[in-house]
A and B are shown apart, each in its own frame.
Chain A
């Protein structure tokens, strides 16, 4: 067991940021931490990294308690904070050296570690530049390089890909996936495809409580019983949405029909069923029978976005 969070709560004054959450992370696992703004993701990460103390509950990292054995925990953890704070008046190499020194890397090993990190994060051309002159994407890489400089067993990354362009995002994600093979990684993000692309497990947190925890496929299965089918048809003028809707609903399993889009007489519907029956064939036969021109028909998997919205939508009210 790499990280063990037990009944953790954190208050800021009267406000409860994290409310009695428990979870564990195994080594070699990449855990995605999802949640709307203010859900408690950053607070949880800050407690694990010893930046904040828990109001109640306990956390241990590789067997070391964050409260009683804090220095040992801080040695094991590499942390990239949310805003990626850096010293703008230092150049990249100076900063990496300083970080390595403070992380307690043995002085003779520091030059080698710096070289490895500069290579791994693609900082070769920028290594002599002041951090203040770098673009946001490069700063993010510097932050990542610094977080990994001491080869930590546990990596905690608070929104690691924010501010990166699509190419860089792909690179950083594959870097994280590689790292995840030997290390324990927790990353938080708003970007849902990121979780699908990098994580093997996801925790969704809302208002300080865990609302879902498990592999993405399990969540998709457990949260959505029915299917969703997108149908685009060319119907003769004069047929109203209500009329078409009634006809589609005559198929037994169909529960709701909604119009997504209407352009030049083409109508696009989203059809949802109450159970897992495949209704695509029925829809096709219906189109043939009514003489509608069938332009598109496909089944949509419940995306992580839907799960996320289902689980956290109450927070917007």
Chain B
């Protein structure tokens, strides 16, 4: 494991996010949509809570995560620059991890301005800080899962549209799993509930930080990145 290699890949990807319109479009559009929902509900509900942020973000992320990551690997496949990376003394998982972390950091900067809502609300009411911290931690973890899965989607193909659709499908399935449970027998339901992203998120968003939930997120992210790495390793034998 060479952290420096991950760092170089990470820095390059962060730079290309912020040197291109990608980062700014993601941030502005996300804030615009979220702001519209946030403001329109705030005074109607008349509750000092960030619930809109925590409820809408995973939903918006279904589309944003695949959009943010779709070019990360597929573009390099298409342009042929992956051949450059593969002939350098770095390992596939270092490439995958660096790129994932870059997307995660972009996501962090997308969430960051929503702290304005937190500041605004502390002026006009009182907020439960515990649920806010839990909510943001949960959002970062849900984002990690969606982004890692989307990095895997991007590794599958050299076509960015295909990468987007495949990733959207997988994250949508992960997101919706716990909403179809009542059709299923109880044993299957508990398994699916465990796999579901939203189930663990709702625990953390309540302010309850349970190691089982944390382990779920870490293992899901690791598995998705491992799958992406395997896809990249396969081409040597193609």
Contact = CB atoms under 8 A, between A and B. Distances in A.
Interface of A: 12, 46, 49-53, 71-72, 74-75, 77, 79, 81, 83, 85-90, 94, 98-99, 101-104, 146
Interface string B68-95: 0000000000011101111111110000
B88 A85 contact: no
A81 B88 contact: no
30 contacts: A12-B238, A50-B87, A51-B83, A51-B87, A52-B235, A71-B89, A74-B87, A74-B89, A75-B89, A77-B87, A79-B84, A79-B87, A81-B80, A81-B83, A81-B84, A85-B79, A85-B80, A85-B81, A89-B16, A94-B15, A99-B84, A99-B88, A101-B8, A102-B8, A102-B9, A102-B85, A102-B88, A102-B89, A103-B88, A103-B89
Contacts of B211: none
B131 to A, nearest CB: 41
Nearest to A143: B84
The 3 A-B residue pairs with the shortest CB-CB distance in the complex, in nearest-first order: A85-B80, A74-B89, A102-B88
B20 A102 contact: no
Contact of A102 (B5, B83, B236): B5
Contacts of B20: 89
B236 A51 contact: yes
Contacts of A89: 16, 19-20
Nearest to A74: B89
B70 to A, nearest CB: 16
A146 B81 CA distance: 13
Interface string B222-235: 00000000000001
A50 B16 CA distance: 27
Contacts of B236: 51-53
B12 interface: yes
B176 to A, nearest CB: 36
Contact of A50 (B79, B81, B86, B237): B86
B160 to A, nearest CB: 15
Given A12-B238, A51-B236, A102-B90, A85 B84 contact: yes
Contacts of B16: 87, 89-90
Main secondary structure of the interface of B (DSSP, over half): helix
Interface in B1-38: 4-5, 8-9, 12, 15-16, 19-20
Nearest to A102: B88
A79 B14 CA distance: 26
Nearest to B19: A89
A74 B87 CA distance: 6
Contact of B89 (A53, A87, A94, A104): A104
Contacts of B235: 52
A85 B5 contact: no
Given A51-B87, A86-B81, 10 more contacts: A51-B83, A52-B238, A53-B237, A74-B87, A83-B80, A85-B80, A87-B81, A90-B16, A99-B88, A101-B4
A96 to B, nearest CB: 12
Nearest to B80: A85
B75 to A, nearest CB: 10
A317 to B, nearest CB: 29
B83 A85 contact: yes
B84 to A, nearest CB: 6
Contacts of B19: 89
A53 B237 CA distance: 6
Interface in B116-146: none
A75 B15 CA distance: 25
A85 B75 CA distance: 11
Interface in B133-170: none
A71 B235 CA distance: 17
Contacts of A75: 89
A90 B19 CA distance: 9
Nearest to A107: B4
A83 B76 CA distance: 13
Contacts of A71: 89, 91
B150 to A, nearest CB: 21
Contacts of A99: 84, 88
Nearest to B81: A85
A312 B113 CA distance: 65
A273 B225 CA distance: 68
Contacts of B9: 102
Contacts of A53: 236-237
Contacts of A86: 81
A52 B90 CA distance: 15
A70 to B, nearest CB: 8
A51 B85 CA distance: 9
